[in-house]
């Protein structure tokens, strides 16, 4: 069952959250039996974007479409996706990338997180299919320039479309708007038992609003309302300031030796 099914297009869910109708597509066969018979290729090393001075490698495959249950099983083995590429870390001398998820029924926002919610009560939130429209792409470019000045991130529209619009699973864009103007967006994947954060970008002019925190709290609340048990935040990297924040959402669970371990403090 698609977790967004049941709300009509444009229908409000909670405080301004809207849902899109599910994609009408024929489900593919399971890919898990085929994956069990092969050894996935490991891509050549490249500079790690999170830990300076280190190289990263990933084990990956391409998929045009995938059952939600297959992707859920792969996330529970440490895989993530970008566009239609599904990957997992394969670094020989580093295990810093640790999958992290939030059990939404047990989650309670901290005092600082509650302040962020109060600061953004004027934000309107809507859900739709991902798009490379002018407003989304322009915001993405401003975000990259602010977060990674002089960086090597690919920022042309085709690369944006390949990474965030194209998908092998059921994917949504959550827009955060102020007075009708887009100020942040998230890309999320929806499975029957999880909502998975893929990407988030915000308008640098509104950095003091902590829209990244606000989006995570909003998406956790969406999962709570829809009876989805887990919100996946991707890889937690304790040594990276850009990725360490994920442990601020408590309780959370980390994947250790193939098992989810709950961390409350």
Tens digit of each residue's pLDDT (9 = 90 or more) over 110-139: 999 999 999 999 999 999 999 999 999 999
Backbone region of residue 36 per phi and psi (left: phi > 0; alpha: psi in -120 to 50; beta: other values): alpha
Domain region containing 199: 1-265
**Residue 65 to residues 41, 47, 169, 190, 216: CA-CA distances in angstroms?**
19, 29, 6, 14, 26
What is the DSSP secondary-structure string of 83-100?
TTEEEEE--SS----EEE
Rounded CA separation 84/65 (Å): 8
Nearest C-alpha neighbor of 183 from the set 200, 199, 203, 201: 203
How many CB atoms are located within 10 Å of the residue 23 CB?
A: 12
Instruction: Give me the sign of the Cα torsion angle 152, 158, 159, 161.
Output: positive
Confidence (pLDDT) at 212: 98
Q: For position 150, what pLDDT does the model report?
A: 66
pLDDT of residue 217: 98
Position 25 scores a pLDDT of: 55
Q: In angstroms, rounded to a whole number, what is the distance separating the alpha carbons of residues 257 and 89?
A: 14
Q: Which residues of 4-15 are buried (b: 16+ CB within 10 A; e: fewer)?
A: beebeeeeebee
pLDDT at 149: 76
98-117: b or e for each residue (b if 16 or more CB lie within 10 Å)?
A: bbbbbbbeebebeeebeebb
Q: How many domains does the chain have?
A: 1
Q: What is the pLDDT of residues 142-156, one digit of tens each?
A: 999 998 776 656 679
Residues of the chain with pLDDT under 50: 1-23
Pairing of the two strands 85-89 and 58-62: antiparallel
Check residue 146 and give left, alpha or beta (phi > 0: left; psi -120 to 50: alpha): alpha
Alpha-carbon distance of 60 to 79, in angstroms, equals 9
The reported pLDDT for the residue numbered 17 is 36
Please, what is the Cα angle at 28 between 24 and 32, to 5 degrees?
140
Distance (Å, whole) CA 205 – CA 10: 28
**Torsions phi, psi of 191, nearest 5?**
-120, 175
* CATH number for 124: 3.40.630.30
How high is the pLDDT of residue 9? 30
39 Cβ partners below 8 Å, 6+ apart?
Answer: none
- pTM higher than 0.85, yes or no? yes
Whether cis (ω within 30° of 0) applies to the bond prior to 98 is: no
């Amino acid at each position: 069952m698609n977790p967004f099914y049941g709300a009509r297009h444009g229908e409000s869910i909670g405080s301004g959250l809207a849902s899109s109708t599910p994609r009408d597509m024929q489900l593919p066969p399971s890919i898990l039996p085929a994956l069990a018979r092969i050894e996935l290729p490991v891509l050549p090393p490249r500079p790690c974007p999170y830990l300076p001075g280190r190289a990263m490698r990933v084990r990956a495959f391409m998929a045009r479409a995938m059952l939600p249950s297959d992707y859920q099983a792969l996330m529970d083995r440490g895989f993530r996706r970008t566009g239609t590429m599904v990957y997992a870390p394969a670094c020989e001398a580093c295990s810093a990338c640790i999958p992290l998820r939030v059990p939404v029924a047990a989650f309670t926002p901290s005092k600082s997180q509650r302040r962020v919610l109060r600061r953004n009560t004027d934000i309107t939130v809507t859900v739709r299919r991902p798009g490379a429209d002018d407003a989304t792409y322009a915001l993405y470019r401003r975000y990259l320039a602010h977060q990674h000045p002089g960086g090597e991130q690919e920022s042309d529209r085709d690369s944006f479309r390949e990474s965030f619009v194209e998908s092998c699973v059921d994917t949504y864009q959550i827009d955060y708007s102020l007075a009708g103007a887009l100020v942040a967006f998230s890309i999320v994947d929806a499975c029957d038992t999880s909502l998975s954060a893929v990407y988030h970008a915000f308008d640098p002019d509104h950095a003091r609003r902590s829209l990244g925190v606000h989006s995570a709290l909003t998406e956790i609340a969406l999962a709570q309302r829809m009876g989805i048990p887990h919100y996946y935040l991707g890889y937690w990297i304790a040594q990276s300031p850009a990725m360490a924040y994920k442990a601020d959402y408590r309780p959370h669970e980390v994947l250790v030796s193939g098992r989810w371990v709950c961390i409350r403090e």
